[in-house]
């Protein structure tokens, strides 16, 4: 699908482009070169993106950065615009997340609920000082091959 869609991305409106980027990030079936090409195209068209599309682009960019473990810069101004769009959304914790959230407290593990990192990653629960977090029902939604130590190693 990526091979068929990539040559036509220039025909997509901002909503279609953002949705396609999110689908690519979710499926994890895109090469590093394709990621860079898509991000370049998205940045060139960023002025046409609404807040929802900017938020999706932010998530795609974060997935590309963390999963590929590459420094992918969009430039500070663009990165901050994406981050602000993402953070402007209202968190919608799942019922499972709410049900599980008291367990760490009962075990003596003080935590913050719905903690957002500097980069804009949202963790279900976290101890920012110790750089530890708990994801109840993610990030498997949009990252492939996630292991419990992936985030801990990166600090």
The pLDDT confidence band at residue 36, using thresholds 50, 70 and 90, is confident
Q: How far apart are CA 69 and CA 128, in angstroms?
A: 21
Distance between first and last Cα of the chain: 34
DSSP single-letter state for residue 94: -
34 has pLDDT over 70: yes
CA angle 73, 79, 80 (to 5 degrees): 150
pLDDT of residue 49: 87
Q: What is the DSSP string of 115-129?
A: EE-TT--EEEEEEGG
pLDDT of residue 69: 60
Q: How far apart are CA 114 and CA 123, in angstroms?
A: 6
pLDDT of residue 26: 66
31-35, 96-100, 139-143: least confident range: 139-143
The residue ranking higher by pLDDT, 128 or 66, is: 128
Give pLDDT tens digits for 121-154. 778 899 999 988 888 876 444 444 444 333 333 3
Q: How far apart are CA 64 and CA 22, in angstroms?
A: 11
The residue ranking higher by pLDDT, 67 or 60, is: 60
70 has pLDDT over 50: yes
Average pLDDT, the chain: 77
Question: Is-contact 54 81, C-beta < 8 A?
Answer: yes
Give pLDDT tens digits for 54-65. 888 888 888 777
pLDDT of residue 127: 92
């Amino acid at each position: 699908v990526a091979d068929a869609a990539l040559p036509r991305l220039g025909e997509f409106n901002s909503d279609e482009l953002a949705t396609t980027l999110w689908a690519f990030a979710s499926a994890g079936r895109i090469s590093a070169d394709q990621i860079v090409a898509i991000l370049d195209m998205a940045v060139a068209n960023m002025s046409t993106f609404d807040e929802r599309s900017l938020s999706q682009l932010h998530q795609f960019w974060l997935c590309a950065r963390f999963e590929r473990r590459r420094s992918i810069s969009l430039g500070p101004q663009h990165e901050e615009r994406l981050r602000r769009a993402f953070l402007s959304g209202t968190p919608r914790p799942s019922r499972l997340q709410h049900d599980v959230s008291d367990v760490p407290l009962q075990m003596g593990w003080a935590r913050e609920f719905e903690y957002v990192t500097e980069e804009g990653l949202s963790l279900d629960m976290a101890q920012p000082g110790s750089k530890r977090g708990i994801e109840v029902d993610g990030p498997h939604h949009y990252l492939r091959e996630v292991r419990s130590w992936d985030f801990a190693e990166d600090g």
